[in-house]
């Protein structure tokens, strides 16, 4: 048995739990925000940063697109299934896999937040020639 694989599962669980804890603490922060100056608007950079936190990948024509995808740590990737045949998004790493969408039928979506830097390879369990890569920096 490969010891490094055994250690990945608890680390992935700790990362997921840490992300959830940060969200709970952020939601519980009830301190008021300073009011913007009269006539001031939110900086464009702030809205761009928020938009960069979600990336969409289509599952279409028996392929993941775009592929590969390079994202910053903490980005949510939304996979949307457009084929009439069911597919999955299943990590090639780990036993059990680091992530697995389960069965996705046409027009269904599934998302995963990539909380740690690294290269994540994935495939469709039904069509193993369908592969993709997420690079998290």
* Domain edges within the chain: 3-24+54-136
pTM of the model: 0.63
Q: Which CATH class is domain 3-24+54-136?
A: mainly beta
CA-CA distances (angstroms) from residue 41 to 51, 53, 54?
Answer: 17, 21, 23
Tokens at 88, concatenated: 């999955």
Per-residue pLDDT 10s for the chain (137 aa) are 444 444 444 444 444 444 443 343 333 333 333 333 343 333 444 444 444 599 999 999 999 999 999 999 999 999 999 999 999 999 999 889 999 999 999 999 999 999 999 999 999 999 999 999 999 99
- Residue with tokens 């900086």, as numbered in its chain: 43
Q: Are strands 118-123 and 90-91 parallel, antiparallel or unpaired?
A: antiparallel
pLDDT given at position 52: 54
pLDDT given at position 94: 85
Q: Are 91 and 122 in contact (CB under 8 A)?
A: yes
């Amino acid at each position: 048995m490969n010891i490094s694989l055994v250690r990945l599962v608890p680390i992935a669980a700790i990362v997921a739990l840490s992300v959830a804890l940060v969200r709970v603490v952020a939601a519980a922060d009830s301190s008021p925000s300073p009011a913007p100056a009269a006539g001031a608007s939110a900086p464009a950079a702030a809205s761009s940063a928020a938009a960069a936190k979600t990336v969409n990948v289509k599952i279409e024509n028996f392929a993941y697109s775009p592929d590969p995808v390079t994202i910053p740590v903490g980005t949510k990737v939304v996979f949307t299934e457009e084929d009439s045949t069911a597919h999955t998004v299943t990590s090639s790493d780990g036993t059990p896999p680091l992530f697995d969408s389960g069965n996705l039928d046409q027009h269904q979506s599934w998302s995963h937040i990539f909380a740690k830097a690294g290269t994540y390879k994935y495939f469709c369990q039904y069509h193993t020639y369908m592969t993709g890569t997420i690079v998290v920096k």
